[in-house]
Amino acid sequence: MIALLVFFWRQSGGGSGRTLGNRIAVHIGIPKSLFHSLLAHGVKGSSRDLLASLEKSKLSLDEASVALGPSLSRGIDRLEARFGTQEMVDKAKPIVAKLVSESEQKR
């Protein structure tokens, strides 16, 4: 029983990155479920590992948001290629485009 609790804590608890992802989603104004879906489709590897590494690096919400902009943009492209245009994704496009622009300016 304890092992099961430990397993679930590691999957969704502290250090999993999910909390940071939720905070970033609220910060940039995208629904949490859409944010995590875009990120999962836009990263190479595990989106939770990426979020956990950002959490460990102690970036501000603004910095972490900008760092994730290109991944979120790839997620939009991949979701649209798979499912076509969707209203929620369309609403997120200008937000993500701004993050990508800021990311490119920092290079």
Q: What pLDDT does 18 receive? A: 87
On whether the CB atoms of residues 58 and 38 are closer than 8 A, the answer is no
pLDDT in tens, 2-53: 655 555 555 555 556 889 999 999 999 999 999 999 999 999 999 999 999 9
CA-CA distance, 83 to 77, in Å (whole number)? 10
Rounded Cα–Cα distance for residues 64 and 99 (Å): 10
Provide the whole-model pTM: 0.84
pLDDT at 107: 73
What was the pLDDT predicted at 54? 93
Alpha-carbon distance of 53 to 59, in angstroms, equals: 10
**pLDDT tens per residue across span 70-107:** 999 999 999 999 999 999 999 999 999 999 999 999 87
Rounded mean pLDDT of the chain?
Answer: 89
Range list of H helices, 29-86: 32-42, 47-56, 61-83
Amino acid in the structure at residue 35: F
Higher pLDDT, 2 or 54: 54
Q: Where are the domains of the chain?
A: 2-105
